[in-house]
Structure 1
Amino acid sequence: MTGPAAVKAAARAAAAAARKAAHAAGQGRAAELLADLLARELGGRQPGTAASGRVLAGYMPMRTEIDPLPAMAAHPGPVCVPVIDGRGRPLRFRQWTPGAAMVEGAFGAQIPAEGAWLEPDVLIVPLLAFDARGFRLGYGGGFYDRTLEALRARHPVLAIGFAFAAQELPQVPLEPTDQPLDRIVTEKGLFPL
Structure 2
Amino acid sequence: MHGNSPKTLRQDLLAQRRQFAASASYPAARDALLVGLGDFLTDSGVALRTVALYCPIKEEIDLRPTLLAWANASPARVLSLPFARPDKHLDFYTWQDSDILIPSQHRVPEPDPNNPRRPQVTPDCILIPCVGWSKSQQGSKNHYWRLGYGGGYFDRTLAQLRRKNPKLICLGIGFDWQKLDDAQWSAQTHDEPLDMLLTESGLHR
Q: TM-score range by the shorter chain?
A: 0.7 to 0.9
Q: Aligned partners of 2:99 and 2:20: how far apart in 1?
A: 29
Give the Cα–Cα distance (whole angstroms) in 2 for the partners of residues 22 and 39 of structure 1: 29
Q: 1:24 Cα deviation (Å)?
A: 1.8
Letter in structure 2 aligned against 1:106: Q
CA contact (8 A) 1:30 1:186 kept: yes
Give yes or no for the alignment of 1:66 onto 2:61. Answer: yes
Q: Distance in 1 between matches of 2:180 and 2:135?
A: 8
Specify the SS of the correspondent of 1:140. Answer: coil
| 1:101 is the counterpart of 2:96 | no
- Structure 2 equivalent of residue 132 of structure 1: 135
Name stretches of at least 5 consecutive residues in structure 1 with no aligned partner. Answer: 1-5, 44-49
CA contact (8 A) 2:90 2:157 kept: yes
**How far did residue 19 of structure 1 move?**
1.9
Q: Hey, what does 1:174 align to over in structure 2? A: 187
How many residue pairs end up in the alignment?
178
Paired residue secondary structure (2:62): coil
CA distance in 2, matches of 1:181, 1:15: 19
CA contact (8 A) 1:58 1:124 kept: yes
Q: Are the equivalent residues in 2 in contact too, given 1:90–1:150 (CA < 8 A)?
A: no
The one of 7, 10, 13 equivalent to 2:8 is 10
Counterpart Cα distance in 1 of 2:160 and 2:19: 34
Is residue 56 of structure 1 aligned with residue 55 of structure 2? Answer: no
Q: How far 1:17 sits from its partner (Å)?
A: 2.3
Q: Which has the higher strand share?
A: 2
Q: What is aligned with 1:78?
A: 78
The whole-number CA distance in structure 2 between the counterparts of 1:176 and 1:68 is 30
Partner SS, residue 127 of structure 2: strand
Q: Percent identity?
A: 29
1:23 is matched with which residue: 16, 21, 24? 21
1:59 Cα deviation after fit? 0.3
- Equivalent residue, structure 1, for 2:74: none
**Cα RMSD, aligned residues only:** 1.8
Distance 1:151 1:139, change over 3 A: same
SS of residue matched to 2:92: strand
Q: Which amino acid aligns with 1:61?
A: P
Larger radius of gyration: 2
**Paired residue secondary structure (1:29):** helix
In structure 1, the partner of 2:124 is 121
- Kindly indicate whether the alpha-carbon contact (under 8 Å) linking 2:88 and 2:151 is maintained by their aligned counterparts in 1: no
* Aligned equivalents of 1:74, 1:132: Cα separation in 2: 31
The one of 149, 153, 157 aligned to 1:143:
153
Contact 1:60–1:109, Cα closer than 8 Å, also in 2: yes
Partner SS for 2:171: strand
